[in-house]
Structure 1
């Protein structure tokens, strides 16, 4: 498999792939088929996340949280990613923003995220997550 040519394309592919993984991992019916190692390999050393709650999570906490919630939903969890944009790029680093819409057990939420990636040829999509910051948005009623 060849990776997309530009850093933005690789980061965009990673955002989409990671959220597909989440849907598979969190839905009980498909969790067994999810490859958790791909998720771990995409999380770079020193990675940290600020979820909408404002907490500060390090890489181990993020991985632990995702691992602990395997199969948490009964096929009632979905994610849509939209509006991926380049925010900043220099050398082998890039910041992208995107909108993540979730549906969990019939409840819709939306968040805007900014993510810092650095190139890593051994990561699943050629980039690894270094920082992720999410904030709540008013959910669309679609």
Structure 2
């Protein structure tokens, strides 16, 4: 990102780029060439996530969950991000909402997400994830 990018631009780019990381990490064909360090650099020290199931994960648990899902798909996992919006912003903190649509081995789902980011010069795209909360818009097809 250029130095003149706004916090919204940085956080939006991070949402898009991090989901490209997931597609690569979870695909057996590309997992070996995907830098897992990118995942570790993106979460703030106190990061926590609440997925649609409602269970709370801290930073270490989230990283381990992502690590454990390496190469679990065979080219049949995609993510589309849409409707990125800022709902709150201060000098170095922004809350984004977005819709995440996933196709996992032929099963389609959609979730609404809200995420808190803070500025960080050492993080990918210049922002760290501090909090992520997701809820189902459409549960996976059976």
Shift of 1:99: 0.3
Q: May I ask how many residue pairs the two structures share in their alignment?
A: 140
Q: What 5-or-longer segments of structure 1 have no aligned partner?
A: none
Secondary structure, in 3 states, of the residue corresponding to 1:125? helix
- Aligned-pair CA distance for 1:91: 1.7
Q: Find the counterpart in structure 1 of residue 70 from structure 2.
A: 70
Structure 2 unmatched ranges of 5 or more: none
1:108–1:45 CA distance, 2 compared to 1 (3 A): same
Residue deviations 1:70-121 (CA, integer Å, cap 9, x gap)? 0001111000000000110012000000000000000000000000000001
Partner of 2:105: 105
Aligned in 2, Cα 1:4/1:134: closer, same or farther, shift over 3 Å? farther
The change in CA–CA distance for 1:77 and 1:94 in structure 2 (over 3 A counts) is same
CA distance change for structure 1 residues 117 and 76 in 2, over 3 Å: closer, same or farther?
same
Stretch deviating more after TM superposition (90-99 or 130-139):
130-139
Post-superposition offset of 1:33 = 1.3
Secondary structure of 2:44's aligned partner: strand
Name the structure 1 match of 2:29: 29
Matched-pair contact (CA < 8 Å) for 1:4–1:10: no
Instruction: Name the CA distance, whole Å, in 2 between partners of 1:70 and 1:104.
Output: 14
Change (3 A) 1:4 1:49: farther
Equivalent pair of 1:3/1:10 in contact (CA under 8 Å): no
